[in-house]
Chain A
């Protein structure tokens, strides 16, 4: 169908993850009182980035298999 959905999912999650990660770095610790003192932007951002990379990797390998 021309577009492997794992690519946009991967890129979207990398973008969102980076945004959260950067927020996590820039915000003062006081901003995280709400989230029980945990910098969730930083940790969840990182997880989203990893998820995005996983999605792109899966897409990459399946298109390689198809070519074979």
Chain B
């Protein structure tokens, strides 16, 4: 892909604004509260868009378009079933305890509600996870820039080898993120997430518009799809064998829609931190609800490009030998082995498509100079804000949850602010390390992501019981988490997805059962982990002494006074807004059933 000077100018204008915001916010970031919690002064709509964007990294955009090309509109379940109901639940029912308690982070809520061991377990695992996620963002961005050959000319001009693009990309994005988080803290990260949200819209809407126009509209797009079910969200979901995702409606709604989605949106500090920075309890509760509205519409700009790309790519057959002509006929390029350059083939011998290239390939196809710069800026912005989001979550967890509680309690606010800035530098250095680790040992990242999935899967059971059952105890919560994680690990060790060999995809203990797809296996792992954690927590809680009720006020539903939403005007009440959001999402599912 060749960039014209105007594209570079567009990119530089964006960088100038990002750094400018960080510099401007430096003056108003004076206390720990400013740095870690954005002074709790963020209006609901800003917090809402940041809540949404913190999750909308470039890997998400690229991955959802890829999944759209692979599975069709059923991918929208990751938004409709797999996000919106959980966002409504966290806003209406859980936010009062996060925002209303004295907790400054999600793990700190566990400390107040339960005990130190549950707190440390969650804070440590979450902290490590943020570093690796941020490292993966850096790595993915560097890899994409290499694959697109955007910077080749620049490297030639500087007479540097092309392999340096990787190092330069990591170095520059780390410096930029460092600059704006170091000075402006959470406010800066939130502002950049909002900026990124609008940039993603600006960068992708013309793509959908041009693609649909090219194909002759939605109806014609549907007619061009290789499989008519791809234009429907629910077609073939009655059984795992009748849809390309290989999942059935039960594992989809229970595994994705309940366990995984509630586990992420209701307990992940990366997103909850945005709501906790809101300027009032009501704003904090409305944050996820406001985010849910664009969230449910996002399939139209991230999944539809996948549909467009596959509609414009002729079906690949085993006979196809990936000649240059065959490659240029379609939008989606054929996947090649990175080391050998050979075409990668499926079991039936047909070439595999490189679905992750959907968005860049569509940019290349439709975007003229100028707009191309804008599209790339949108992608780079979301890589960087994905990284910044993790870095801000990390510096808070390190400083407030670990350092202040267990390393150096009772220091001045100034000291903790200093530590937060130091943790930002440390977190970014560790992310760079993680990025190189990912580049060196691809498997390490896969294993780590699995471990995180095991640790996260049972988490929602702990929070659900902690917030809504006053008899839940610290011992119950801790052992529930451990047993839940263990259940996930064992389930993974005993099952394999169809077509995979025992190993990283499962069955490393022995292959007791085979799932129709990796996705089905993931959903069931989550269901088992949740159930094990839920059961164990109840059992052990019944055998141990709960905290006195007086200590649980503001932390548990039945022991917390009214939430005071009655004083708000009708349209600002979380319950009303939540109901509206749910009606809309049901309507979308119905229309695209």
Residues in chain A within 8 A of chain B (CB atoms): 1-3, 5, 8-9, 11-13, 15-16, 19-20, 23-24, 27, 31-32, 34-36, 38, 40-41, 44-45, 48, 51
* Complex contact B202–A3 (CB within 8 A): no
Chain B neighbourhood of A3, CB < 8 A: 21, 24-25, 28, 191
* Complex contact B42–A1 (CB within 8 A): yes
B1-47, CB < 8 A from A: 6, 9-10, 13-14, 17, 20-21, 24-25, 27-28, 38-39, 41-42, 46
Q: Top 7 nearest A-B pairs by Cβ distance? A: A23-B370, A2-B28, A41-B370, A1-B41, A12-B17, A20-B370, A5-B191
Chain B neighbourhood of A32, CB < 8 A: 368
B523-548, CB < 8 A from A: none
Residues in chain B within 8 A of chain A (CB atoms): 6, 9-10, 13-14, 17, 20-21, 24-25, 27-28, 38-39, 41-42, 46, 187, 191, 194-195, 198, 202, 206, 210, 213-214, 365-371, 374
Complex CA gap A48/B46 in Å reads: 20
A-B contact count (CB 8 A): 93
* Complex contact B198–A35 (CB within 8 A): no
Q: A2-B25, A16-B10, A35-B210 are in contact. Are A8 and B366 (CB under 8 A)?
A: no
Complex CA gap A51/B210 in Å reads: 20
Q: A8-B20, A12-B195 are in contact. Are A1 and B38 (CB under 8 A)?
A: yes
With CB as the reference atom, state the residue of chain B lying closest to A12: B17
Contact of B6 among A11, A12, A19, A35 (CB under 8 A): A19
Nearest Cβ distance between residue B432 and chain A, in whole angstroms?
28
* Complex contact A48–B202 (CB within 8 A): yes
* Complex contact B17–A8 (CB within 8 A): yes
Chain A neighbourhood of B369, CB < 8 A: 23, 27, 31, 41
Complex CA gap A35/B371 in Å reads: 10
* Complex contact B191–A8 (CB within 8 A): yes
Q: A19-B6, A44-B206 are in contact. Are A31 and B368 (CB under 8 A)?
A: yes
Main secondary structure of the interface of B (DSSP, over half): helix
Contact of B214 among A12, A24, A31, A36 (CB under 8 A): A36
With CB as the reference atom, state the residue of chain A lying closest to B38: A1
Q: A12-B14, A13-B202, A36-B214 are in contact. Are A5 and B46 (CB under 8 A)?
A: yes
Chain B neighbourhood of A8, CB < 8 A: 17, 20-21, 191, 195
Complex CA gap A63/B187 in Å reads: 19
* Complex contact B195–A9 (CB within 8 A): yes
Chain B neighbourhood of A9, CB < 8 A: 194-195, 198
Complex CA gap A5/B46 in Å reads: 8
* Complex contact B17–A23 (CB within 8 A): no
With CB as the reference atom, state the residue of chain A lying closest to B50: A5
With CB as the reference atom, state the residue of chain B lying closest to A2: B28
* Complex contact A23–B13 (CB within 8 A): no
Complex CA gap A60/B191 in Å reads: 18
Complex CA gap A42/B342 in Å reads: 42
Q: A3-B25, A8-B20 are in contact. Are A35 and B366 (CB under 8 A)?
A: yes
Complex CA gap A20/B368 in Å reads: 10
Chain A neighbourhood of B17, CB < 8 A: 8, 11-12, 15
Nearest Cβ distance between residue B214 and chain A, in whole angstroms?
6
